Structure 1
């Protein structure tokens, strides 16, 4: 079956949608990026946090683990709620919890409180994933592609720039003020969004109970081939992203580069530039056509080939980062554009499915990168990235041409 045969039209009622202003799109993109950054501030600071709360550097990895676990649980059990409760109220609760968790991290006297705070932070940070479907809902049919692309670009820029901001702020004032400042920022974001989203909420799944929403999420995945295919693309794309970014600091910190953590953090700016380039994907008129997806997968493959051949030169790293992030984020934007047209009444449930696979793909990519780095170094990292791209290419061939076999 061709993936273009599985897409279902948005209900006709959407045609009369008033649309979304550029100012609102910019606000949602900025807010989404600010929220998403919360999950990534700690990654370059693990050793400093571990020393400060009285635990070993080896145990600092638990911070990443519990944060990821909290986020995964939020994707599965909190995000679907946005289809049956008022989005503005849900965002208010999540952002207050987010602010409290960030403050608890900044004030944590010991490792136990820090771990609980990071787990809570992961759970509450699904607020960013509530905003992306909300933007898709507010946009009309003609705007939806560009709107979703803009908001996702904001989210990705927040993810990538968080490491840079964390390194600079920590060097200037320490890591605790960083998290306390982020808590204050979430309070401001909460107030602004609460005001801006007034009167704009629609609960598509009104009347459903929580248990039925969770069961229907499983049924959507089982019944819809397009959701399964795009979730697989998302998992493979974020795996490729994580394979590079989880080991980039190791490569840049050793010979021939020998860069300091602060300098390494600046490479996040390159990633953000790639994410902005991927914003052009929002202008693709037929996101279900095989060609845009094929181009995105090809860019990821080219990036890892460049990193394999020239990854020991600064120019090679810069070129690889730009092409990799353009391909990965372009694929992500295409995926999200397609899934938000699957079922207007279940956009948050569909996003819950997609983002869970996306997240799992990233976690598996990080684990594979950690193993390959210890076994084969930088060449092993690049070959692993090419292997993931080969899987994405097989998926593309299988779903893009009628009658093809894998």
Structure 2
């Protein structure tokens, strides 16, 4: 499950190290929006597709999304214009949310006392997909062109569908046998009630969203910063391997959350995010950026596992919808971070991006401080 989660989420990050090559073959302002539109598609899929995990048979839903994802990859590979590439990217991002069908399914299958550890392992696969996708895409794009990477994604999605079809148990959501469960429209309507009911969900979403915005700001601009110092898509992709060191935090963070509670790990994650951007601002060469990359990925992963531990414990019967709200909010703020980073880059180059990332990290710290305060009666 961890490996296929990584394969799914990788699809929304292939474009980042390839952006310079895409802009070369498709000049124009629209091309620069490809990463942002892909993330917006992912957020859209979180709100419209992931809630289905509380309604329909999960294995079939996961397999179907992987099959449709392979079609979206074909559309991206053959897109002749920036506008059509943006459209394909939006659909691709939405279907890549199959990763977020797998995560709550893993939590559902795990014993309660091992939930944090299991989530940590699956999220390690997800973060591995995020980071190593850049390495793979950078290498493939540099040697075979950016379209080749989307073509390569097609058989990978089909393989994931076949593996999960063979290995996952069937698992019907509550009320699915005779239609007693909430209909799709009711599932979507219930999102607002869950959001209002759970203060911990709102604060976890905002804190993690700000951290992910800082994370997205770094990765969406990294290829452009490296190009300034004479490095191409291959080097930008290698940063995925460097950042993968932070993946080691996932299982460890899960075990700590199971044993000592999640809040201490969140504080550490927020502090590391601030440190990462101080490093990126002060030492903006290749070596400094590599160090910042490791610390930044460690930061966002540590906090993410702990926040998911909190969110999934709120209502076991609504885990897919809770995941929709949490991850949807996180990716919306991530898309905002990418968009703001593009503006900061054009206005003040890497210094502007660094100030933005640092401000987002500090903002996450303030929200986390509010989350720890006792709620007034």
Common topology (TM > 0.5): yes
Q: Within 1, Cα distance between the matches of 2:346 and 2:236? A: 20
1:212-231 alignment, distance < 5 Å: 212-231=186-205
Q: Within 1, Cα distance between the matches of 2:70 and 2:259? A: 39
Q: Within 2, Cα distance between the matches of 1:46 and 1:362? A: 18
SS state of the match for residue 12, structure 2? coil
Structure 1 residue 204 corresponds to structure 2 residue 174:
yes
**Which of structure 1's runs of 4+ aligned residues deviate more than 6 A?**
none
Instruction: Work out the number of aligned pairs and report it.
Output: 371
| Match in the other structure for 1:391 | 363
Q: Within 1, Cα distance between the matches of 2:200 and 2:183? A: 26
Structure 1 residue 295 corresponds to structure 2 residue 268:
yes
Higher helix share: 2
| Match in the other structure for 1:330 | 302
Q: Within 1, Cα distance between the matches of 2:221 and 2:36? A: 17
Q: Within 2, Cα distance between the matches of 1:250 and 1:120? A: 25
TM-score normalised by L of structure 2: 0.91
| Match in the other structure for 1:32 | 5
* Contact 1:36/1:128 (<8 A) preserved: yes
TM-score normalised by L of structure 1: 0.85
The partner residue of 1:246 within 210, 217, 220 is 220
The partner residue of 1:186 within 157, 161, 164 is 157
Q: Are the structure 2 counterparts of residues 368 and 117 from structure 1 closer, same or farther at C-alpha, using a change threshold of 3 Å?
A: closer
Aligned-residue Cα RMSD (Å) equals: 2.1
Structure 1 residue 107 corresponds to structure 2 residue 42:
no
Cα deviations by residue, 1:184-235 (Å, 9 ceiling, x for unpaired): 1111110110111134x14135421111111111100011111111111121
| Match in the other structure for 2:316 | 344
Structure 1 residue 111 displacement after superposition: 5.0
Larger Rg: 1 or 2? 1
Cα deviations by residue, 1:139-191 (Å, 9 ceiling, x for unpaired): 10122111101111111111111121112112333333322221111111101
Q: Are the structure 2 counterparts of residues 97 and 298 from structure 1 closer, same or farther at C-alpha, using a change threshold of 3 Å?
A: same
Structure 1 residue 311 corresponds to structure 2 residue 284:
yes
Q: Are the structure 2 counterparts of residues 370 and 194 from structure 1 closer, same or farther at C-alpha, using a change threshold of 3 Å?
A: same
Please, which runs of 5 or more residues in structure 1 have no aligned partner?
Answer: 1-27
| Match in the other structure for 2:59 | 88
The partner residue of 2:344 within 372, 382, 397 is 372
* Contact 1:279/1:330 (<8 A) preserved: no
